[in-house]
Amino acid sequence: MTNKILLIGFMGAGKTYIGKKLALSLSLPFIDLDDFIEKQCSLSILEIFNKYGESYFRKLESDTLNIILKNNTFVLSTGGGIIESEFNRTLIKDSECNTIFMNTDWDCIWERIKNTDRPLIIGKSELEIKKLWIKRFDLYSQCANRVINNYEEIL
């Protein structure tokens, strides 16, 4: 396994939870991309969306991804929308990362995220978010070297 591990997957897939465990067991530094952005801006992701809008957040997300991928060792957990931009998908595919798609069943995802303050969920119906989950599936698959289903394989 390389010493650059990238976790991708939908909101609530357990990227941060598993990322911390993986980093600990492999003795690699753990980075959560959203946490990193929040610290840089001294604002929560929700505040960034509310204050500056989604496209501003996406630019920050891309720039931060680009910087972190240049590090030599990490377990990096990313936000669920990282694969939306072609630029990010190319960055990920061209990186030397072992990219793991954390694939999780819809019912499980929805239970975990429905009562959270994730900006993309606020004001949306379950069906709208499920459509996004379906739409993104291929994008995660395209970028990944490995798929973990409901994270039973590595716990």
Q: What residue ranges bind ligand S3P (CB under 6 A)?
A: 11, 34, 45, 79-81, 118-120
Measured CA to CA, the distance from residue 69 to residue 103 in angstroms comes to 22
β-strand pairing of 146-149 with 98-103? parallel
C-beta closer to ligand S3P: residue 72 or 117 = 117
Smallest distance, Å, CB 61 to ligand S3P?
A: 7
Query: Cβ closer to ligand S3P: 45 or 148?
Result: 45
In whole angstroms, the minimum distance from the beta carbon of 37 to ligand S3P comes to 8
Q: Which is nearer to ligand S3P, 3 or 132 (CB)?
A: 132
Smallest distance, Å, CB 123 to ligand S3P?
14
> In whole angstroms, how close is the CB of 119 to ligand S3P at the nearest point?
5
Scanning the structure block, which residue is given the tokens 């204050």?
51
Residue with tokens 């998908």: 89
Nearer to ligand S3P, 77 or 95 (CB): 77
Cα separations in angstroms, 20 against 24, 27, 142: 6, 10, 24
Residue number closest to ligand S3P, CB atom: 79
Residue 122 burial class via C-beta count within 10 angstroms: exposed 0-12, middle 13-18, buried 19 and up: exposed
Query: How far is the C-alpha of 114 from the C-alpha of 126, rounded, in Å?
Result: 8
